[in-house]
Every structure is written in C-alpha cells, then in structure tokens.
Copies of this chain bind each other. A is one copy, B any other.
Amino acid sequence: MTGRVVKQERAVRTRAALLHAAAETFAEYGFAGTTVSRIAERAGLTLGALYFHFKSKEELARLIVTGQPELVVPQLDSQGLQHAVDLTLTWAHQLLDDPVLRAGARLVMDQELFIKPSVNSYRQWTGILLDDFEQARRRRELRADVDTEAYVRLIVGSCTGAQIHTQLETSHRDLPARVEEMWRCLLPALAVPSVARKVRFGEERARVASS
C-alpha cells in the first residue's frame, strides 16, 4: 500500500470518528450544549483535525440530520403501505442504538439554526413516505377518498411526537410499540380492508439491512 492510500484511509477514518463523536455529543447535550471542543475531545482528536474536515458545528449537525434516511434501510423487501410501515418500524428500533438517529431526534427542533427549510428532516421524511403512498395508491391498497398528503403529514408528525414523548417516559424504549400502535389506529381509515388485514408488524420488519 502506498503512503498516499494509507493517508486517505486514515482521513476517512478520522472523518467518520468525528461524525460519530458529534452525533453522540448532539444526542447527549443538544445543539446549544454542544461545542466543537467537546466533539474533538470525545473523538480523541485535536480541534485542528476537526476543522480540517468540517467547517463548523452547524455543518456537522446538518450532515447528521440529512444523513438519517440513508441509514434506515429495512432488511425485508416490501412495497407500498408495507414499505411505509417497515420504514417507520426500522427507524424506531434503530433509534434505540444508533447515535446518528438519536442525534437527529434531539436536533429536530433546532434545525432552523443549521438547515434550509427546503431540506429539513420533516420534508425529507414526508417526501419518502409520499412515494410509498403513491405506490400504495397504484397498487389499489388505499381507500378511494384518502388524502395521501394529509396522512403522510400525520404519520411524520406522529413519529416526531412519539419520539419526544417516549424519550421523556422511557428513553425511547416504547417507541417501536408506539409506531406500531399508530399504524393500527390509522390503517382502518387508510387501507382497503383486505390490505389492512395483511400488513405485518413482527420484529423481522424492523431489522436493518446489513450493509
């Protein structure tokens, strides 16, 4: 291996370690309570190393928040409504351990400080779920008069609220159960009965694809 390749690999590892430390720090202290020094210290690196890779605390927060959806990849293949269910269940389970998702959750109210409204996490997730709902519509899974945008806004809002309340009550431990409960409340209004009966919620739906 040449010296240059070693250097590049080291740079990639350093960058990843800083992002990981940033996520843990944001998850623990929130945006206001996090400083670049705290992040560098947690990564066991210097402030110089941090500023070599990232411009600011704001840039780190932005990368963490916008990077959430690509982390949430259900292991099982599915389509339409079942894919929307799998996505939210996978997110809920994964949030229990993943510092990036925990940080994203903690930063949700502070996004205006470091992210453009057009790409905030609310817009990201509604866009993704709307695709699932459009597919569900094409697959004739939805009741005829369902306002898909209204339901998607309700689902994303309800996941945000459940995340906040379960954080207060059980350090998120109840989040997967709350997400399943949300779907059980909504499916009778949303889905044609034959589809509503077939939607699955078992733990296998919530497993992340190994990368």
Contacts and interface: CB of A to CB of B under 8 A. Distances in A.
Interface of A: 30, 32-33, 106, 108-109, 111-112, 117, 120, 122, 147, 150-151, 153-154, 156-162, 164-165, 167-169, 178, 181-182, 184-189
Count this chain's copies in the assembly: 2
Contacts of A120: 168-169
- Give me the 4 closest cross-chain CB pairs, A-B, nearest first: A157-B161, A160-B161, A161-B161, A189-B189
What secondary structure prevails in chain A residues at the interface with B? helix
15 contacts: A30-B32, A106-B109, A109-B164, A111-B168, A112-B168, A147-B181, A147-B185, A150-B181, A150-B185, A153-B162, A154-B182, A154-B185, A160-B165, A164-B164, A185-B189
Contacts of A165: 122, 153, 156-157, 160
Contacts of A117: 168-169
A156 B151 CA distance: 16
Which of A117, A122, A164, A182 gathers most chain B CB within 10 Å?
A164
B32 A122 contact: no
A185 B156 CA distance: 13
Contact of A32 (B33, B161, B185): B33
A48 B73 CA distance: 55
* A30, A160, A168: residue with the most chain B Cβ atoms closer than 10 Å: A168
A165 B154 CA distance: 11
